[in-house]
A and B are shown apart, each in its own frame.
Chain A
Amino acid sequence: MLLSRKTLMNVSVAAAMMGATLGSSVAMAQDAQLRGNVRVVIGSTSTGGDTYQNASIVVDRLAEHLGVNMKVDAVGASSAFRTLDRDSRGNTLMIFHDQSYLGHLYGVQGYDDIFEKYTIGPTIAINPGNAYLVPMDSPYQSLDDIIEAVGSGETVRVAIQPGGVSEIGFSALKNAIAIEHPGQEDNLVAVNTGSQSDKNQQLFDGQADVINGSVQANEQYTRLPESDQKAMRFVWLTARQDTIEQAPEEGLGQTTRDQLLEYVEPNVTVTMGDDENFTFDKEFFFLYNKEMDQGIVDQIDEALEAIYAEGDIQEAQLSAFFIPDFKPSQEASDYLQEKMSRYQEIIDNIN
């Protein structure tokens, strides 16, 4: 059967168009890159906090490296998740920390399973400062004293912000008491508060015996004279020993790294059972919309790899008392998922 010239022409034009379309979509898939203005939302509303500080250090360098306009916006967790949900083009990225999955483990409204709902991006740094403190004149000299006191039936009140990073150390402590002194763990009582200022205030008012705080926010309080109502002492840093060992030798303020090491394992231990001790490093990482193109995920991984290879960023992070911690997306996702399952065990044990 002979085909008319017109039909042939139509078919060839259609084929050429299809080819062009296919070709361009292949090219687009290969070329999916960050472009235009990129907004990096963070899970905190504070511009004075560690999330903003960490995000700024990384985003500034990333923007410079990629030649893209990027801005960090401190919008808070629920707004940040919602903003990320809406944008699959890659113009909105998110940076947050372990709170993003701990919130889900503690059943806080507005926190979904990040491993299901989002793509996990690279980790960027650790804040080694998560700490527990007592008043300077507290009868408890160490965390062991607190565990023993609770084990012997004494009520000890711990001021925390519920549902996340602030609570996980409390949960671990409660779990350790349940293991070492079964049935006594309910003597460790959480006092639910909000900001660091509220937690400090609970200590000043005598409404809490122990508070969750941080090296950054509370170090100066530990250097006040004992006669000062505001004076405090560290009893526990939840970070791993390796993590603190990577901090600058001069530590923070006038508290040296060696002094900080007195408050981590093996000097202070919180058992998880089976000869395993609890530690918690507060890690910061990227979160992406699940539909975002893999090309952008790879692009950011590669860019950060290059930035971390240069070495300047580590200096900036260390001088701000953060521990550099770059893991590319896939590795970060596996690592964080494993980390979450460990903490899930603790939370399940005490509930």
Chain B
Amino acid sequence: MEFLSVLDVSFFLLVGFGTLVGIIFGAIPGMTATMAVAVCLPLTYALGLNNGLALLLGLYVGGISGGMVPAVLLNIPGTPSSITTTFDGYPMARRGEGEKALRICVIASVIGGLISAAVLFLFAPLLADFSIKFSYVEKFLIILLALSVIASLSNSMLIGIFSGVIGIWLSLIGDYSISDGGNGHTRLMFDFMEPYLFEGFSLLPVLIGIFGISTILLEAEKGVKRDVAGERVKIGASGRFSLSTFKGSLTNLTRSSFIGTFVGMLPGVGGSAASVLAYTQEKNLAKDSSQMGKGAPQGLIASESANNALTGGALIPLLSLGIPGDATTAVLIGAFTLQGIQVGPLFIPENHETWYIMMTALVLANFVMFVLMFFAIKHIAKVVMVPKHILYPLIVMMCVVGAYAINYGIMFDVWTLLIFGVLGYLIQKIGLEVAPLIIGFILGSQAEVYFVKSLESFGTYSIFFTKSPIALVLWALIAASVLFAIAMGFKSRARQKMELSQMHTPSNTTAGKRHDSTNG
């Protein structure tokens, strides 16, 4: 415990301050944990390594957690990894259970964060060795597994798959980047679009547009009168939070936390895949998952524990291989290089003190996040009480500013936001499904890169089945996920039919009677 002697008050204050600022960044649509860390990175020069890490890890944990707030209350994923939080969070908020939903999210988040920190502390080098067993082939299969959620997430499987394919198509617009080992050529666009779409559509403006702006457009359609008299009054009155919500969720919580940690430690797979995978697995494995997507706490638990578990997971390859696990740790690595510290397979054995300090900051940041959010929720949740005709223009303004800032001032990102806002609105009007589309968009380009690279490396399609036992296990999971979706589809169709016939019979009788009486 020698390292404790180098910690002073400022260390603890910086963790707290970092977490608070991170939460604010995460909660503002368009601002992300990555951005928060990038903005504060130069401060590490002045703060020194220990205090710098305290601030940055606080920002990281806070930024990832803050994303839950707009996801639940406004249907806008504050960060890409909180996309699955919107699926159940927003329906709960609409039922007047916003506060309850947020409390569930906070508890799931802190547990996910702490489990991943424990895994990082105990098994980092071991897991890093395991993570290098995942080549392009296995990474492609993981993305495919996450994509298989499209089938079970949709109301109508065919429409869902169609929407997912559109999402994948949209993700492929742009160049096949040389930084991915591609040829750097653009595709799926006309020449005049190149200046704008060379790197494709930016993820966050698309996400915020298709979820946030389209929701606002749909709400705007209803007009002001209904809003004032309507849902906003219900906050807190119904659906109070109690810890019993977590009863029976231990498996979900643990499984999702481990999935989050695991996906986090695979460089290049990305944060959004973690929550999508955890959500899929809960949907497939839970005894009753029929309410998921309609406001079920189990969906929130899966999503939020997984996305906070990313934090510890993504630090595993960073500190054990020198390779960042996600976008934020890619920025975090700058804190080390700016201080002249090498990160690589010998980082932990050669920098014991820094390692313990990082762990302390990470655990502390999780607790600070919990305390800050759990007790502030009551007030945060009141956002929904603000009349929508005042709230929504403010949100649109924040979205626009966020979209403009996300790539350091690209105006086309603002147009992307608005284009996808209108597209999201139209999609819902013509009956396509938004969630599969966006999952296709998030995962599509990664799936392509890993698929092409697998073929380039191994030269045969059969490699996807013969590469390793891990590949076989992943195929089994994919098959199970698809079969489950089909079975669920049949089941719900049968249930709908039954409900319809039950409704039909009495109404027939009534109509018949009325008919009879008229005749009589």
A-side interface residues toward B, CB under 8 Å? 41, 45-49, 52-53, 56, 60, 72-76, 78-79, 82-83, 103, 108-110, 161-164, 191-198, 200-202, 204-205, 207, 216-221, 223-224, 228-230, 252-253, 319-321
Contacts and interface: CB of A to CB of B under 8 A. Distances in A.
B210 to A, nearest CB: 23
21 contacts: A46-B333, A48-B331, A53-B337, A53-B338, A73-B408, A79-B408, A82-B195, A110-B175, A161-B179, A162-B184, A163-B184, A194-B181, A198-B453, A200-B132, A202-B457, A216-B342, A220-B322, A220-B344, A221-B344, A319-B340, A320-B340
B408 A47 contact: no
A164 B322 CA distance: 23
B346 A48 contact: no
Contacts of B41: 47
From B178, B317, B333, B407, residue with most partner A Cβ within 10 Å: B178
Report, as a range, how many residues of chain B touch the other chain: 35 or more
B135 A201 contact: yes
Nearest to A82: B195
From A164, A198, A202, A223, residue with most partner B Cβ within 10 Å: A198
Nearest to B323: A197
Contact of A56 (B199, B332, B338, B458): B338
Given A47-B41, A205-B457, A253-B342, A110 B184 contact: yes
Contacts of A197: 267-268, 317, 321, 323
Contacts of B453: 193, 198
B55 to A, nearest CB: 15
Contacts of A220: 322, 342, 344-347
A161 B182 CA distance: 9
Contacts of B321: 197, 200, 230
A83 to B, nearest CB: 8
B185 A191 contact: no
Contact of A48 (B179, B198, B334): B334
A320 B341 CA distance: 9
Given A78-B199, A207-B458, A220-B342, A195 B333 contact: no
Contacts of B42: 56, 60, 72
B132 A230 contact: yes
Given A56-B42, A163-B178, A47 B346 contact: no
Contact of B457 (A78, A191, A204): A191
Given A47-B334, A220-B346, A220-B347, 5 more contacts: A49-B337, A109-B185, A194-B177, A197-B323, A219-B344
- Leading 5 A-B pairs by shortest Cβ distance: A220-B344, A48-B333, A47-B334, A197-B323, A193-B181
Contacts of A252: 342
Contacts, number: 136
A202 B137 CA distance: 12
Interface string B59-103: 000000000000000000000000000000000000000000000
B265 to A, nearest CB: 12
A43 to B, nearest CB: 11
B231 interface: no
B456 interface: yes
Interface of B: 38, 41-42, 45, 129, 132, 135-136, 175, 177-186, 195, 198-199, 267-268, 317, 321-324, 330-334, 336-338, 340, 342, 344-347, 407-410, 449, 453, 456-458
Contacts of B449: 194
Contacts of A109: 175, 184-186
Contacts of B317: 197
A75 B322 contact: no
A75 B407 contact: yes
Contact of B181 (A46, A198, A216, A228): A198
Contact of A108 (B178, B347, B458): B178
Nearest to B468: A205
Contact of A230 (B175, B345, B347, B408): B345
Nearest to B408: A73
A79 B199 contact: yes
Contact of A217 (B178, B322, B457): B322
B178 A207 contact: no
A198 to B, nearest CB: 7
A235 B317 CA distance: 25
B209 to A, nearest CB: 20
A201 to B, nearest CB: 6
Contact of A194 (B175, B179, B333, B407): B179
Contacts of B407: 75, 79
Contacts of A163: 178, 184
A196 B322 CA distance: 10
Nearest to B268: A197
Nearest to A191: B457
A257 B280 CA distance: 52
A45 B199 CA distance: 12
A70 B205 CA distance: 27
Given A161-B178, A194-B181, A224 B346 contact: yes
A108 B129 CA distance: 35
B180 A223 contact: no
A112 to B, nearest CB: 13
A221 B199 CA distance: 33
Contacts of A60: 42, 45
Contacts of A224: 345-346
B342 A219 contact: yes
B181 A52 contact: no
Nearest to A162: B178
A195 B179 contact: yes
